[in-house]
A and B are shown apart, each in its own frame.
Chain A
């Protein structure tokens, strides 16, 4: 699975959009971009994933560049409860029967302040 690079930490004001970048310059054509977050002392939580098109769900938006070498997770209106470590992971097979392991990097510590 491709390696990802994220900034170690970021700050965001409550109510503002949080934009978390991720570089994955060695991503392969069949690899998806996944985002998870881990709130202190809890298991990681799935946020969103995508292949090449931008994606949006009730939690966040995912913007993937046209060359797919980087992406940005957007939390449109960050709250204090969004303070967590955010992990960007790339791997093949977003479904079906070919599941495999997730490889976690160090992630980005997002701190949302009042």
Chain B
């Protein structure tokens, strides 16, 4: 299975600022996914990022708020823009693949907006 390095692991940010989260994979992958996990809740998919094309956003998520870059097959970034306390969540990246069709997740970025 792929190994994912996600940075930063946690951050405390001021409202109105932006934070960029990085996801580095140790192998080339076609599809990468970004999830949000609000406190006490399950994971919600934000968007799917394919290399060389625009990310596909789920209902309720927009590119202006969560711009995503996917410059190559091993790297992606998610930016949380103009943050408010409601954006306080864990953000996780994931890649598809592996020997048995499973998905691998990064360790997450715990974001607190004050």
Which residues of A are interface residues toward B (Cβ below 8 A)?
32, 34, 36, 41-46, 49, 87, 93-97, 99-107
A93 / chain B contacts, CB cutoff of 8 Å: 101
**A95-B100, A97-B30 are known contacts. Are A43 and B45 too (CB-CB below 8 A)?**
no
Contact of B92 with A by CB under 8 A: yes
Assess the B101–A104 pair: CB atoms within 8 A: no
B99's closest neighbor in chain A, by CB?
A95
* A contact patch SS: loop
Closest CB-CB distance, A92 to chain B, in whole Å?
11
Closest CB-CB distance, A21 to chain B, in whole Å?
18
B108's closest neighbor in chain A, by CB?
A43
Contact with A along B82-114 (1 / 0, CB 8 A): 000000001010101110111111111010000
Assess the A106–B101 pair: CB atoms within 8 A: no
Assess the B100–A99 pair: CB atoms within 8 A: no
Assess the B43–A44 pair: CB atoms within 8 A: yes
B108 / chain A contacts, CB cutoff of 8 Å: 41-43
A36 / chain B contacts, CB cutoff of 8 Å: 103
**A97-B30, A99-B97 are known contacts. Are A46 and B107 too (CB-CB below 8 A)?**
no
Assess the B30–A99 pair: CB atoms within 8 A: yes
B110's closest neighbor in chain A, by CB?
A41
Cβ 8 A contact of A104, one of B42, B96, B106: B42
